[in-house]
């Protein structure tokens, strides 16, 4: 078996990157023509740990190595984790055992996870945003022997959003469209990429929470037909949630209890915890005051609603800072 670690634990929110890493390992380990004989998949909810371990200890058939995948590893119970820990301490040299855990429902303090992390077997795949997405687009184009200009990459992300599968699909079309040409420019994107990103009001609120003015403006552009008061309500809900999270943190409430107290999912809680760090207490209060004044503007001002919303989003993202309201 070509050199790779005998155990991998992939976890995080970016499914596509984990599947890409899995594909790389399969190509490295499995001999061509015998892949189906040496690749086995088990589901975390229903698996039997002894059965998986027996499979991992089985010698490969007509291949240099075997790949055994445990999908949905976040569902493993304590007993299964203990058995896999014992295996990980003395793994089969001819098998690559891979665990994939999606989301953030993990037992971070378990002996199993701590051991895998200490051995360098655990790797997190975070959802790509901003510069991370741009680097991925550039790298993917380079693997196809193409150079994509910064303007073209920005246009692609505007049209495809932040889902890597959507971005890949559109970029594959563009690379085919450009043929022998090794450069992709903005005109190529316009010629064949299609908008696949459906923005909603909470995308806008999330971008504002990250102070990502570029993402917020893209989301706002995609929501041009939405009722402004609906957008305002989503943004206000987001800032009220950030304020609640901050208040509970000051009281010393543990992170695992916060999701239930503020009534949001664990995934959204992680985003709120990051967003809350982007604003001081006074900025959060000013944001809510500013949203209240925007509500009055929408109902009474003769200014175009698009102008009011754009000014509001820029201010909330920190363009010039949140101005005290009088």
Domains and CATH numbers, the chain: 7-125 (3.40.50.300), 130-192 (1.10.8.60), 201-316 (1.20.272.10)
58 is written with which tokens?
């089985």
DSSP output for 106-171: --TTSHHHHHHHHTT-EEEEPPP-HHHHHHHHHHHHHHTT-EE-HHHHHHHHHHHTT-HHHHHHHH
3-state secondary structure of 194: coil
- 8 Å CB contact between 81 and 53: no
pLDDT at position 163: 82
> 125: which strand partners?
12
Cα–Cα nearest to 216, from 320, 129, 135: 129
pLDDT at position 259: 74
Which of 44-58, 84-98, 266-280 shows the lowest per-residue confidence on average (mean pLDDT)? 266-280
Average pLDDT over residues 187-191: 81
The alpha helices in the chain, defined as continuous H runs, are: 15-29, 49-57, 78-89, 111-118, 130-143, 150-160, 164-178, 186-192, 201-209, 213-222, 228-250, 255-262, 266-276, 281-300, 305-316
pLDDT at position 281: 87
Cα–Cα nearest to 65, from 93, 40, 98: 93
How many whole angstroms separate alpha carbon 134 and alpha carbon 326?
41
pLDDT at position 326: 47
3-state secondary structure of 40: strand
239 is written with which tokens?
């800032």
How many whole angstroms separate alpha carbon 144 and alpha carbon 181?
11
The dihedrals phi and psi of 174, each to the nearest 5 degrees, come to -65, -40
Which of 126-140, 193-207, 243-257, 274-288 shows the lowest per-residue confidence on average (mean pLDDT)? 193-207
3-state secondary structure of 42: strand
pLDDT at position 68: 97
150 is written with which tokens?
């910064």
The dihedrals phi and psi of 123, each to the nearest 5 degrees, come to -140, 130
pLDDT at position 3: 77
pTM over 0.85: no
Cα–Cα nearest to 275, from 219, 217, 204: 204
> How far does the chain reach from its first CA to its final CA, in angstroms?
70
CA distances (Å), origin 185, targets 135, 147, 181, 238: 16, 9, 10, 37
Given a cut of 80, whether residue 255 has pLDDT beyond it is no
Most confident stretch, 273-282, 286-295, 312-321: 286-295
149 is written with which tokens?
């200009």
Given a cut of 70, whether residue 103 has pLDDT beyond it is no
How many whole angstroms separate alpha carbon 315 and alpha carbon 191?
34
How many whole angstroms separate alpha carbon 19 and alpha carbon 38?
18
How many whole angstroms separate alpha carbon 190 and alpha carbon 92?
51
Given a cut of 70, whether residue 265 has pLDDT beyond it is no
107: left (phi over 0), alpha (psi -120 to 50) or beta: beta
- 8 Å CB contact between 134 and 107: no
């Amino acid at each position: 078996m070509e050199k790779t670690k005998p155990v991998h634990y992939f976890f995080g929110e970016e499914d596509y990157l984990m599947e890409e890493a899995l594909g790389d390992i399969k190509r490295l380990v499995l001999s061509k023509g015998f892949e189906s004989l040496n690749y086995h998949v088990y589901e975390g909810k229903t698996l039997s740990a002894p059965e998986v371990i027996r499979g991992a200890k089985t010698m490969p058939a007509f291949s240099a190595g075997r790949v055994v995948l445990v999908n949905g590893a976040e569902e493993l119970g304590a007993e299964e984790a203990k058995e896999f820990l014992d295996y990980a301490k003395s793994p089969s040299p001819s098998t690559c055992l891979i665990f994939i855990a999606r989301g953030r429902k993990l037992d971070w303090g378990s002996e199993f996870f701590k051991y895998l992390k200490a051995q360098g077997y655990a790797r997190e795949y975070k959802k790509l945003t901003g510069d991370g997405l741009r680097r991925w687009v550039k790298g993917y184009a380079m693997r196809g022997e193409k150079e994509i200009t910064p303007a073209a990459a920005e246009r692609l992300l505007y049209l495809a959003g932040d889902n890597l599968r959507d971005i890949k699909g559109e970029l594959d079309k563009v690379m085919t469209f450009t043929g022998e040409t090794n450069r992709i420019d903005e005109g190529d994107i316009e010629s064949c990429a299609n908008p696949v990103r459906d923005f909603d009001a909470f995308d806008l609120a999330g971008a504002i929470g990250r102070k990502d003015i570029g993402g917020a403006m893209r989301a706002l552009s995609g929501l041009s037909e939405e009722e402004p008061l609906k957008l305002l309500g989503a943004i206000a809900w987001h800032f009220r949630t950030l304020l609640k999270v901050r208040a509970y943190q000051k009281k010393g409430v543990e992170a695992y209890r916060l999701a239930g107290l503020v009534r949001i999912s664990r995934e959204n809680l992680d985003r709120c915890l990051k967003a809350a760090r982007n604003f001081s207490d006074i900025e959060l209060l000013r944001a809510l005051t500013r949203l209240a004044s925007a509500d009055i503007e929408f109902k009474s001002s003769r200014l175009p609603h698009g102008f009011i919303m754009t000014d509001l989003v820029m201010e909330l993202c920190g363009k010039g800072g949140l101005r005290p309201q009088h």
